[in-house]
Structure 1
Amino acid sequence: MIFPPETVFTRSPDPLTTEIDGDVVMMDLASSAYFNLDSIGAAIWARLETPTRFEDLCGELHARYDAPLDIIRRDVAALLADMLTHGLVRKEAT
């Protein structure tokens, strides 16, 4: 699933998080689920501290990493969809 470019995402305040060696480790107390984000996932998590449009997030990652934009969109969409499913991020009304 690729989200529309104007879709805005932000962090959910619920998970407990900590950074370990550039990765982010998260624990959702409500579901007892554990998540680990690698350095790129951690960069996405950091950016979502403030509401961020899907296309802006993908554009920033494209400028930072040497990967085709369509691959970045696909991978970011997959991560955000998984995070939505587990209540780690929220979609804001647009």
Structure 2
Amino acid sequence: MIKNPHLTLQTGVVQEQGNIVSDMDGDKVMMNITNGNYYNLGQIGGRIWELIAAPVSVGEVVSTLMTEYEVEQSECEEQVFSFLKHLLDQKLIQIGDEL
């Protein structure tokens, strides 16, 4: 895992182990076993979570979301970076070039 990470479209990302995720009326909710915190990922956040089940680049996540939703690339990138940064701050994902 990278210390002081800088997310780019080429950055690899994958879920951290130790989370239980459930679908509740189309929204994904998650409990982290390590810290005991609950998170509401929402519908699109839940889709991002599904996409990072296996190592994937941030650019691939953005590309997939752009084909599934009507969204401009710049807006999609901004939202994906923001969401992933939050997950990273909470230690819910791993990032790096070696994933």
Contact 1:8 1:91 in 2 (8 A): yes
Contact 1:10 1:92 in 2 (8 A): no
Compute the TM-score of the two structures, normalised by the length of structure 1.
0.90
Q: Which runs of 4+ in 1 moved over 6 A?
A: none
User: How many residue pairs end up in the alignment?
Assistant: 93
1:31 counterpart = 2:46: no
Compute the TM-score of the two structures, normalised by the length of structure 2.
0.85
Structure 1 vs Structure 2: percent identity of aligned residues?
Answer: 23
1:91 counterpart = 2:78: no
Contact 1:9 1:90 in 2 (8 A): yes
CA distances 1:30-59 after superposition (whole Å, capped 9, x unpaired):
222210011111111111111110111101
Distance 2:96 2:18 in 1: 16
Q: Structure 1: give runs of 5+ residues left out of the alignment.
A: none
- The equivalent residue for 2:58 is 54
Distance 2:94 2:26 in 1: 23
3-state secondary structure, aligned to 2:76 = helix
What's the CA shift for 1:24?
1.1
Q: Structure 2: give runs of 5+ residues left out of the alignment.
A: 1-5
User: Which range moves more in the overlay, 21-30 or 35-44?
Assistant: 21-30
Distance 1:86 1:14 in 2: 13
